A and B are shown apart, each in its own frame.
Chain A
Amino acid sequence: MDHRPPISRRNLLLGTAAAFGVPAVLAGCGGSEQPSPGSTSGNLGAVTLGSNASDEVPKKSLATVIEKFTQASVRINTVDHNTFQENINRYLRGTPDDVFTWFAGYRMQFFAEQGLATDISDVWQEIGGDYTQAFRDASTGVDGKQYFIPFTYYPWAVFYRKSVWEEKGYEPPKTLDELTALAKKMQGDDLVPIAFADKDGWPAMGTFDIINMRMNGYDFHISLMAGKESWTDPRVKQVFDTWRGLMEYHQPASLGRTWQEAAQSLVQKKSGMYLLGMFVAQQFPEEDLADLDFFTFPEINPTHGTDSIDAPIDGYMVSAKAKNVDGAKALVKHLAQASSQDIATELDPGTLAASSKADTSGYSALQKRGAELVSQASHIAQFLDRDTRPDFASTVMIPSLQSFVDKPAEIDSLLTSIEQQKANIFR
C-alpha cells in the first residue's frame, strides 16, 4: 500500500521529491542516502537498511528506532514509498541493502520463494515468544521457514469525528441497512456520507476487501486472491452489487482525489466517515487526534459477522545478497524488540506494535481501540494487493476497480474482463 504525497499544502516540496522519483523508477535505483546520525559503529561493522518510509512521520520514527541500535553502524537508504515498491524486483536482484522494509503474507512469500530473502528462522527462535501465532504465520514462507520480522501494523476501519457524530446524534451502524440509513441521514445533514478517493488505485481495494469478507468470509477472500475462484462467480458479483448500492453515498469525483485529500474532508467536517487504514490519523492535526474514532465495517452476512478485517503488517526482511548477515540479523532482532516498536507507535499514532510484549500503556485512545479491534477479529487479511500476485494487483485490479468506480453499473462486462485477465496471469 502506498502513501502518495498529498497535493495540498506540503505539495510542492513533496511533488519535487516525487519528480526525482520518476527518473529513479527508470534508472531502477535511486533515493537518498543518509547516515543515521546517532548510531556509532559497534562490533558488527556496517549494515545498510533500505527503507520505503519516505513520509515524514514514518521516516522520523525509523530514524529514532535505529539510533538506539548500537551493535553496528546503520546506513538508511530512504526511497520514495511507491518507487521502492515498484522497483522491488530489480532492487532485490541487483545490489539490495542488507535489511529492507517489506510486507507480510503473500508479498513476502512471493520473494522468499524465489530465493531473494535470507532465512531468519534462527532469529525467530529467540524472538518467537514475543509474537502471536497469526504474526508467525504471516512471517512464514511456503517452506515453513521465517523470512520476515513484523514491526507495526494498522487495521482498516470506518473512521469518523466523535464531535460531529455527537452533535448530530449518529450511532455506529451494526448492519448494512443501518449503514445505508445513516448515510442517507448524513446526506440530509449536508455531509458527504462516505469520504472516498481512488486516484492512486489502491484505496478502492480496501472497500472491495471488506465487503467481500463481510459477505463471503475470509477463506473466500484468500482463495479468490490466490486465483482459485472465478471472478464471474455470483458471490463476487454480489459484492460489486452491494458496493454499487453504497456508491451514491461515496464522495463524488473520487478518481481525481488522493487519500490525503479525502482525509482532509473528514478533518474539516465536510464528510461523515471514511473507510481507510489507521494511517488516516497522519492527516489529523495533533489537537484533533482525540476526536478521531472508528467502527468496524458493519455485518452483512450473519454467518461471517464482523470476524475478518484488513490489518496489513509492515516489517523487515534480510535480503539474500546481504553482505553483513550477522549485522543484519542483529538489526532485525533489534527491530523485533518491543521497546523499538514502542518508539514507533508513539511517534506514529497510525500504527500498532506487532510484538505482544509491546507496552500498550503509552497508546493513544485510538491505538487502544485499534488493538482491541484486531484482537477481536478471528481472521486478519493483509489487503488485496498484499494477498495476491503483484502483477495481478497492479495491472488488472487497479484499472478494473477504477473502471467500476467510474461506471458502477457495468459489473458483468467488468467481471468477465477480470476473469479473462486473471486466467492469463495465473497459469
Chain B
Amino acid sequence: MTVKTRRYSARDVTVLVIGVGVAVIVNVGLIWGPTLASVALSATDWNGFGPIEWIGGRNYSDLAGEYPPFWSAVRNNILWLVFLGLVATPFGLFCAVLLDRRLRGSRFYQSALYMPVVLSLAVVGFIAQLVYSHDYGVLNAVTGLSADWLGDRSINIWVVMVAAAWRHVGYVMIIYLAGLKAVDPALKEAAAIDGANERQAFFRVVFPTLRPVNVIVLVITVIEALRAFDIVYAINKGRNGLELLSVLVTENIVGEASRIGFGSAIAVILLVISLGFIVTYLSQLFREER
C-alpha cells in the first residue's frame, strides 16, 4: 500500500478557503444574489415594503401587452446598439486611421475628438439641450429650421444618438489609435512591396492584426449601448420617444412609483439581452483558446 501524501497542508487549505471563499462570497453576494433576487421579484407584486404577493408571469404579460413604453424602449435599445456598432464605432476607427497617418495638426484633431470623452453623458445631455432646444437651441438658430428636435418622437432618438456618438467616437478612436501605433510598420511595408494598395493593406493586413483591439471595442460598444441612461434621463427623463430599458427600470423601481415587481421584470429582460451578448462573446473566446 502506497502512502498517500497529502497534497495540501492545513495552511494551504486555509489559504484556499480564504482566497476562494472571499471571492465566492463577494460574487454571490454582490452579483448572483441580487440577480436571482431580481428574477424572483419579477414574479411578484411588491411596493418595497408590506407583503409580497406572488403573481407568476403576470408582470411579463402586462409588460408585453399593456405597457406602451416597453416596446419603445426595446426598439430604442436595439437602435442604440446598431447605431453605435455600425455608425459611431466605424467612424471612430476611420478617424483613428486618418490620425495615424500623421496629418499636419493631428495632435489638435486628436484632442478635439477625444475631448467629449471626459464629459459624463449626463453633461452631454445638457449640452444636447442647448443645441437642440426648439425655442433657444443653437441648431435651429443657425439653420433657420424650426424642428422640435427633442420633442418630436420620430426624430428625437436619432439626434440624441448623434450626441451620444459624439462622445463614443472619441473613445473608440483613442483605443484604435493606440492599437494602430502598435502595428509593426514592417507589415505594411511588406504588403506594399507585394503590390497591395492602401485599402487592401488596411483590410487584409492591418485590420486583422488589430483583432484584440476589435474585441475590446466591440465589448465597449455593447456595454455603452446597454447601459445608456444618463443622456436621455438628463434630457427628458427618458420619456416621449427616448425610452430605454434602463430608464424604465429606474422609473418603476427607484422613482416615486415603487413598482418593484414590475420594474424587476423589465430588469430581467435587460439581463436576458445582456446575457445573450455575454454568452456569445465568451463562447467565442473559449472556442479560440482551445
Binding site for B on A (CB under 8 A): 7-8, 11-12, 15-16, 18-19, 22-23, 25-26, 28, 85-90, 93, 114, 199-201, 252-257, 261, 264-265, 390-391, 394-395, 398-399, 402-403, 406, 417, 420-421, 424-425
Q: How far is the CA of A228 from the CA of B223 in the complex (A)?
A: 44
Binding site secondary structure of chain B: loop
Is A8 a contact partner of B49 (Cβ separation < 8 A)?
Answer: no
Q: How far is the CA of A420 from the CA of B259 in the complex (A)?
A: 16
Q: How far is the CA of A315 from the CA of B255 in the complex (A)?
A: 21
Contact code string B229-248 (vs A, CB < 8 Å = 1, else 0): 01001101101100000000
A265 neighbours in B (Cβ, 8 Å) = 135
Q: How far is the CA of A60 from the CA of B251 in the complex (A)?
A: 30
List which B248-280 residues lie within 8 A (CB) of chain A. Answer: 250-252, 254-259, 262
Is B257 a contact partner of A394 (Cβ separation < 8 A)?
Answer: yes
Q: How many A-B residue pairs have CB under 8 A?
A: 128
Q: How far is the CA of A19 from the CA of B233 in the complex (A)?
A: 10
Q: Which one, B62, B69, B254, contacts A26 given CB within 8 A? A: B254
B134 part of interface (Cβ distance < 8 Å): yes
Contact A394/B255 with A25-B250, A257-B134, A261-B133 known, Cβ cut-off 8 Å: yes
Closest to A425 in B: B259
Q: Which one, B149, B252, B255, contacts A256 given CB within 8 A? A: B149
B32 part of interface (Cβ distance < 8 Å): no
List which B55-83 residues lie within 8 A (CB) of chain A. Answer: 62, 65-69
Is B62 a contact partner of A19 (Cβ separation < 8 A)?
Answer: no
B251 neighbours in A (Cβ, 8 Å) = 394-395
Q: How far is the CA of A199 from the CA of B236 in the complex (A)?
A: 6
B169 part of interface (Cβ distance < 8 Å): no
Q: How far is the CA of A406 from the CA of B126 in the complex (A)?
A: 23
Is A89 a contact partner of B258 (Cβ separation < 8 A)?
Answer: yes
Is B151 a contact partner of A257 (Cβ separation < 8 A)?
Answer: yes
Is B133 a contact partner of A7 (Cβ separation < 8 A)?
Answer: yes
B123 part of interface (Cβ distance < 8 Å): yes
Is A11 a contact partner of B130 (Cβ separation < 8 A)?
Answer: yes
B120 part of interface (Cβ distance < 8 Å): yes
Contact A421/B136 with A22-B230, A255-B148, A402-B239 known, Cβ cut-off 8 Å: no
B38 part of interface (Cβ distance < 8 Å): no
Is B62 a contact partner of A424 (Cβ separation < 8 A)?
Answer: yes
A16 neighbours in B (Cβ, 8 Å) = 123, 126
B49 neighbours in A (Cβ, 8 Å) = 93, 114
A424 neighbours in B (Cβ, 8 Å) = 62, 66, 262
Is A403 a contact partner of B68 (Cβ separation < 8 A)?
Answer: yes
A352–chain B nearest beta-carbon distance, Å: 26
B239 neighbours in A (Cβ, 8 Å) = 201, 398-399, 402
A420 neighbours in B (Cβ, 8 Å) = 65-66
A175–chain B nearest beta-carbon distance, Å: 31
B118–chain A nearest beta-carbon distance, Å: 14
B152 neighbours in A (Cβ, 8 Å) = 253, 255-256
B258–chain A nearest beta-carbon distance, Å: 5
Contact A254/B129 with A88-B256, A398-B239 known, Cβ cut-off 8 Å: no
Is B68 a contact partner of A261 (Cβ separation < 8 A)?
Answer: no
Q: How far is the CA of A208 from the CA of B67 in the complex (A)?
A: 21
B259 neighbours in A (Cβ, 8 Å) = 391, 395, 425
B122 part of interface (Cβ distance < 8 Å): yes
A23 neighbours in B (Cβ, 8 Å) = 122
B74–chain A nearest beta-carbon distance, Å: 15
A200 neighbours in B (Cβ, 8 Å) = 236-237
Binding site for A on B (CB under 8 A): 47-50, 62, 65-69, 120, 122-123, 126, 129-130, 132-136, 146, 148-153, 156, 230, 233-234, 236-237, 239-240, 250-252, 254-259, 262
Query: Can you give 18 contacting A-B residue pairs, CB < 8 Å?
Result: A7-B129, A16-B126, A22-B122, A86-B256, A88-B256, A89-B258, A200-B237, A201-B237, A255-B240, A256-B148, A256-B151, A390-B256, A390-B257, A391-B257, A394-B257, A421-B62, A424-B66, A425-B259
Closest to A398 in B: B239
B66 neighbours in A (Cβ, 8 Å) = 417, 420-421, 424
A252 neighbours in B (Cβ, 8 Å) = 148
Closest to A116 in B: B49
Closest to B66 in A: A420
Contact A22/B69 with A256-B134, A402-B240 known, Cβ cut-off 8 Å: no
Contact A261/B255 with A19-B120, A399-B239, A402-B239 known, Cβ cut-off 8 Å: no
Q: Most B CB atoms within 10 A — which of A16, A89, A114, A402?
A: A89
Closest to A201 in B: B239
Closest to B248 in A: A395
Is B151 a contact partner of A255 (Cβ separation < 8 A)?
Answer: yes
Is A406 a contact partner of B153 (Cβ separation < 8 A)?
Answer: yes
Is B240 a contact partner of A406 (Cβ separation < 8 A)?
Answer: yes
B151 neighbours in A (Cβ, 8 Å) = 199, 253-257
B237 neighbours in A (Cβ, 8 Å) = 200-201
B134 neighbours in A (Cβ, 8 Å) = 253, 256-257
Q: Most A CB atoms within 10 A — which of B62, B132, B134, B153?
A: B134
Contact A395/B257 with A114-B49, A256-B150 known, Cβ cut-off 8 Å: yes
Closest to A23 in B: B122
Q: How far is the CA of A257 from the CA of B236 in the complex (A)?
A: 10
Is A253 a contact partner of B148 (Cβ separation < 8 A)?
Answer: yes
B119–chain A nearest beta-carbon distance, Å: 10
Is B48 a contact partner of A399 (Cβ separation < 8 A)?
Answer: no
Q: How far is the CA of A93 from the CA of B233 in the complex (A)?
A: 25
Q: How far is the CA of A18 from the CA of B67 in the complex (A)?
A: 28
Q: How far is the CA of A406 from the CA of B150 in the complex (A)?
A: 12
A201 neighbours in B (Cβ, 8 Å) = 237, 239-240
